[in-house]
Amino acid sequence: MLDRIRTWRRRRIVDRHAPPATLWAEVLDSLPLMTGLSAPARDQLRELATLFMHKVQVVPAEGVMLSERDRWCLAAQACLPILNLGLDWYETCATLVVYPGSFVARHHYRDEAGVEHEDVSPLSGEAWDSGPVVLSWEDAHGAGELDGYNVVIHEFTHKLDMLNGAANGHPPLHADMPGRDWTRAFTTAFEDFTNRVEQDEAPDGLDIYAAESPAEFFAVASESFFELPHRLRALYPAVYQQLSLFYRQTPADRLPS
């Protein structure tokens, strides 16, 4: 019964607030990473984006002007990873803050010796556990090219990773996905990638930032999965396979190699 009520409520939100079909087509056609999505998938993404825009408050910081189309572009990219998972996977996401450019975040942390440090670094995006996602518009505007750099996907996949605790590159997996397969694929690839980065031989297809930590490796590998799937599959086939099972998508089947 509750499910039926929820379905009915969602239906009503979509009927009332979905973007016009022509605008939606323009949005998807302007984003190369959406190339090859089937008509049902484009419709499904439109529904999800509508529910997303209804649930998530988009807050442009001073100096950012977002058009209707800009907002739908952000929603479309944010929802691509959950296209076959559903909006419940973003249950902890209520606010999306958009800064004009990269922003400075201050983080305090205590090292193993108990010394307090302050880390101040410029960021293009940030995702808070049970809090907002923050994006730099300078970086998010132009995202969606097939270059393996997508700050929208990056930050929202951190939200998926945080569903079962602090981000560690191990989001909650589906019941038919053995955790050991995920761990083996990602641990092996992360070790190989960090070794190659240390030797100044970072391979094409994954941004070097993936070497930062297992959490960043998962987020950066997800960017590549949706934008450079052929390269990711050639580089780390087991990672591509695990991400396919997790996202329930095979972008290499629809994007040009």
- Residue 51 has which token pair? 């529910």
Q: How many other CB atoms are there within 10 angstroms of residue 235's CB atom?
A: 19
Between 19 and 132, name the residue whose CB sits nearer to Zn ion: 132
Smallest distance, Å, CB 213 to Zn ion?
9
Type of residue found at 252: A
Using a CB cutoff of 8 Å and minimum separation of 24, what contacts does 6-9 make?
none
Smallest distance, Å, CB 158 to Zn ion?
6
Smallest distance, Å, CB 219 to Zn ion?
5
Among the residue ranges 15-23, 55-63, 82-90, 213-221, the one whose residues contact Zn ion (CB under 5 A): 213-221
Alpha-carbon gap, residue 143 to 160, rounded angstroms:
20
Instruction: Look at strands 133-136 and 57-60 and give their pairing.
Output: unpaired
Alpha-carbon gap, residue 70 to 47, rounded angstroms:
17
Q: Are 229 and 252 in contact (CB under 8 A)?
A: yes
Smallest distance, Å, CB 154 to Zn ion?
6
Binding-site member from 28, 45, 73, 219 for Zn ion (CB under 5 A): 219
Smallest distance, Å, CB 180 to Zn ion?
25
Kindly give, in sequence order, each residue whose CB lies less than 8 Å from that of residue 114, ignoring residues fewer than 6 positions away: none
Residues in the chain: 257
Residues touching Zn ion: how many (CB under 5 A)? 2
Binding mask of the shown chain, residues 181 to 200, with x at each position contacting Zn ion by CB under 5 A: --------------------
Among the residue ranges 29-37, 168-176, 193-201, 219-227, the one whose residues contact Zn ion (CB under 5 A): 219-227
153 interacts with Zn ion by CB under 5 A: no
Where do contacts with Zn ion occur on this chain (CB under 5 A)?
A: 216, 219
